[in-house]
Amino acid sequence: MSDITTAVLTGAGGGLGRALALRLARPGVRLLLADIHQPRGAETAELCRARGAEAHVATTDVSDAAQVEQLGIEADRVLGRIDLVVNNAGVAATGAIGEAPLANWQWIMSINLWGVIHGCHVFTPRLIKQGGGAVLNVASAAGIACAPTMAPYNVTKAGVIALSETLAAEVAQHHIGVTVLCPVFFKTNLLETARVASDAERAMAESAFANSTMTADQVAAAALRAVARGDLYCLPMREARLMWRVKRLMPRRFHKTLASARLQRMARERARRGA
């Protein structure tokens, strides 16, 4: 992490994006902070400047390829060499297949998956040209577990994992590291814009966020350590690592247990709300 002196981060206006920016911020570091909400990006920039970093803000909608290309041009202008690209911007949407509105699928795909594709498409040639660097793509353990009634979110995050694995193989010869971050729930502002299928689903998500075992800062620290080590996968929570191992060893039992547990939790939540 101490070798990172320039970085571009999307979704830097809050949550994990802000935590990553603050972890990187120190004298001598230059950051380009992208967020769709300019005031939030500006607030993160001020916090980073208070730690001695040079921070620039770019209002960017990652679902728009042209805006991400403009972000690349701005990075050329204010950073020059780019040590780290963080594709972090993301949203949440839940719902069962066949029930979740297609508009929600299109919305979440445009940000969570296409946003990362755009970031990799724009910045990978720049990293290759300069002869090295690192990419941190933010996925989720949801892309591994694929829990019921979370299909839109699961699919985008599984796509980010596949994209990262492919990219890692393609750029290894160019001395570019690729890390994909797969945390479970932790406290962020993700629920502010989430498109949730039901009140019961929202209550379950709120409970999962509230009971998280790690903070955004701790997840950010784990992610940057993984980048420094050159790890492809970063699963910062113990439960995520255990889940991944169980799924690989006993996939059928894993999915049956996951489905049963989900139904039980939803039944308990409905009973609680009806009480």
Catalytic residue IDs: 153
C-alpha radius of gyration, the chain, whole number: 19
Angle (nearest 5°) at CA 44 between 213 and 116: 70
Query: Which two structure tokens, joined as six digits, stand for 118?
Result: 């755009």
DSSP 172: G
Closest among 56, 69, 52 to 8, alpha carbons compared: 56
What is the 3-state secondary structure of 168-237? HHHHHHHCEEEEEECCCCCCCCHHHCCECCCHHHHHHHHHHHHCCCCCHHHHHHHHHHHHHHCCCEECCC
153: helix, coil or strand? Answer: helix
Residue 59, strand partner residues: 35
- Round to whole Å and give the CA distance between 77 and 142: 36
Contact at 8 Å (CB) between 273 and 199?
Answer: yes
Q: What's the burial of 273, exposed, middle or buried (CB within 10 Å: 0-12/13-18/19+)? A: exposed
CB atoms under 10 Å from CB of 210, counted, come to: 9
What is the 3-state secondary structure of 90-149? CCCECECCCCCCHHHHHHHHHHHHHHHHHHHHHHHHHHHHHCCEEEEEECCCHHHHCCCC
- Round to whole Å and give the CA distance between 214 and 236: 9
